[in-house]
Structure 1
Amino acid sequence: MNFGKVITAMVTPFDENGNIDLQALRELINHLIANGSDAIVVAGTTGEAPTLSHEEKAALFKNTVDFAANRVPVIAGTGTNSTYAAVELTQLAEQAGVDAVMLSTPYYNKPNQEGMYLHFKTVADATSLPVILYNVPGRTGVHLDASTTIALAENVDNIVSIKDASGDLDHMTAVISGTPEDFTLYSGDDSLTLPSAAVGAAGIISVAAHIIGNEMQSMLSSFHNGQTAYAAQQHRELVPVMDAMFSAPSPSPVKAALEMVHVKAGSVRLPLTPLTQEQEQHIYQILQRKLYSSAV
């Protein structure tokens, strides 16, 4: 299933007391839609999901659906390392009216491939929503093998896509080659947006799109229109911004960057910490160079 080319893994805005800021959420959604987001992921890793209660996630799902108002698909991050909890969250998301859910591989308990297959199948069987798998071994400690992804895509009707943050283009190629034609793969690494498109990825589930969503759309359009040299040039110009968004534990850098472009995002929750003054200055300089190069 295709959700568009640029999907933004949205931050969760917090107020000065560390609570979800619903007015800022509304304004952030408007900003993302106006700046190149074809769809939005709510309560994913970038949304600081590990620090959110079930009640907060349910409120985020409902308010994001309401604020998006059918302008773009809303994808709820409902993955966790408890299959039972993932089923419960997925059903809460379905009740809230989201368009799809995204399920990360179970973290910390490190299941084998059979365990991951049964985990994803159990959650998918508990919902009528489309399901996007999320392979992110750097965060979860487990890698979803291509063969397991292919088996899930072939045997579970509503498992329709995968976000792959393995950083391994050979692995992505194997998944794309082995899954049905209507199954899509999205890169989970901003700096691999163009390289993954070259091997058949449908697009990117992005952090940097908070800041450069339109530019990423332009780069992918250039590539798909056959302007590959120009797309490569655009890629080289965007990589410094992409890298800056991961210059400290995410989403601290992108929240700081949003504030710099006058989009309210607030701070992060512990155990994450705000950027130092030096880190903020580095991101500010990168954004200034990007703005200057866009103007000339």
Structure 2
Amino acid sequence: MNKFHGTGVAIVTPFNADGSVDYDGLKSLINYLINGKVEYLVSLGTTGEASTLNKDEKKKIWEFTAEINNGRLPLVAGIGGNDTAEVANNISTFKLNGYDAILSASPYYNKPSQEGIYQHYKALSEASALPLFLYNVPGRTASNVSPETTCRLAHDFKNIIGTKDASGSFDQFNQILRDKPEDFMLISGDDPVALPMIALGAVGVISVVGNALPQQVSDLVRLCLNGDFSAARKPHLDLIEFTRLLFAEGNPAGVKAALRQLKVCGDQVRLPLIKATAQLDGQIAEQLKKIIQ
């Protein structure tokens, strides 16, 4: 199986009460995820609150994550932004040790045309010594990477090997799966639709829920990849309310609350995000009790 088939986890960045990075918590989380049998880890995606970290913090987190992982799982680095020249420079100067690919979100705020998105990823492809995943998340970027642009990039640049798509559009997924190169990977960017996306032909999920429930999510995804959707249906449905709660007050506040309850790491976030309210925290605890028997 391809090393990016299955469950990847977009890992959170634990913080101390003073706002500094909690490296003990990060070590605990990495080991927890590896013991949960996920297939790969994504360091400093949007769930990792990368937008609130400075360059030195990002560098240290990437290095620390590779050190603790120690080759046990494939690693993906999240490197994105809305200044193409800066992102390309960050990718070209990225220290490759321990990493297998880069995940880069489509530019936010600028709202580029489809040709602008194509030219952005063309520049990143030419700058990258590692395979590159596109990341389409219109809810955060205010623009969509169309199926035509996705497949154009996939055909034109061999080191663009897949896309994490969080558009929620099954019309879009259908078009990508019909028109992409055979080995180009469609990956679900949303936990709740991983099952139906895999039924269509996606190769897995990059999960937020997997931070808290790595074993449950990875078991579910493996059932789907093995074509056993009958067995996968119940665990899929069992996770729906828990997943809804994790995103009720923004990501990653909800999943960090769950991780604190599971004694994996703390639940501090950096402004402008705030911690989950007491009410939501209690609801998440109730769901965890139901799921973890």
TM-score (norm 2): 0.96
Q: Secondary structure at the match of 1:93?
A: coil
Amino acid at match of 2:161: V
**Following the alignment from structure 2 to structure 1, what is the Cα–Cα distance between the partners of residues 35 and 231?**
24
Q: Distance in 2 between the 1:54 and 1:14 partners?
A: 16
> Which residue is equivalent to 1:283?
284
What is the letter of the counterpart of residue 217 of structure 2?
M
| Percent of aligned positions that are identical | 38
Alignment partners' CA distance in 1, 2:79 and 2:140: 16
Contact 1:105–1:136 at 8 Å: present in 2 too? Answer: yes
CA deviations on 1:181-216 (whole Å, 9 max, x unpaired) are 111011000000101101000000000011222122
Counterpart-to-counterpart distance in 2, 1:51 and 1:220 = 31
What amino acid is the match of 2:253?
S
CA offset digits 1:25-66 (Å, max 9, x no partner):
111100111113211111110000111111111111111111
- Asked whether the equivalents of residues 3 and 39 of structure 2 are also in contact (C-alpha less than 8 Å), the reply is no
What is the alpha-carbon distance in structure 2 between the residues aligned to residue 154 and residue 269 of structure 1? 39
Q: 2:45 — aligned with what?
A: 44
Where in structure 2 are the equivalents of 1:81-96 lying within 5 Å? 81-96=82-97
Letter in 1 for 2:55: H
1:241 and 1:266 mapped to 2: Cα distance?
17
8 Å Cα contact 1:61-1:96 kept in structure 2: no
The amino acid that maps onto 2:288 is L
Map of 2:23 onto structure 1: 22
8 Å contact 2:84–2:120 — kept in the other structure? Answer: yes
Structure 1: how far apart are the matches of 2:3 and 2:138? 24
The aligned residue for residue 236 of structure 1 is: 237
**Alignment match, 2:185:** 184
**How far apart, in 2, do the equivalents of 1:26 and 1:115 lie?**
39
The equivalent residue for 1:214 is 215
Q: Partners of 2:227 and 2:78 in 1: how far apart? A: 34
Deviates more, 1:244-253 or 1:214-223: 214-223
In structure 2, distance between residues paired with 1:42 and 1:226: 29
**Equivalent residue number for residue 125 of structure 1:** 126
* Partners of 1:48 and 1:197 in 2: CA distance: 27
Encode CA deviations 1:86-144: one digit per residue, 9 max, x unaligned.
Answer: 11222343445421111101000110001110101101101110000000000000000
Matched residue pairs, number?
A: 292
Partner residue, 1:271: 272
Counterpart secondary structure, 1:286: helix
| Structure 2 letter corresponding to 1:202 | V
2:257 equivalent to 1:251:
no
Q: CA deviation at 1:266?
A: 3.7
Q: Any conservation in 1 of the 2:210–2:218 contact (CA below 8 Å)?
A: no
User: C-alpha displacement at 1:251, in angstroms?
Assistant: 0.3
Unmatched tracts of structure 2, length 5 or more: none
| Amino acid across the alignment from 2:68 | F
Q: Is the 8 A contact 1:2 1:202 kept in 2?
A: no
Q: Which runs of 5+ in 1 are unaligned?
A: none
Name the amino acid aligned to 2:218.
Q
Deviation at 1:265, TM superposition (A): 3.3
Q: Which amino acid letter does the alignment assign opposite residue 41 of structure 2?
A: I
Q: How does 1:119-198 map to 2 (within 5 A)?
A: 119-198=120-199
Partner AA of 1:145 in structure 2: S
Q: Which residue of 2 aligns with 1:65?
A: 66
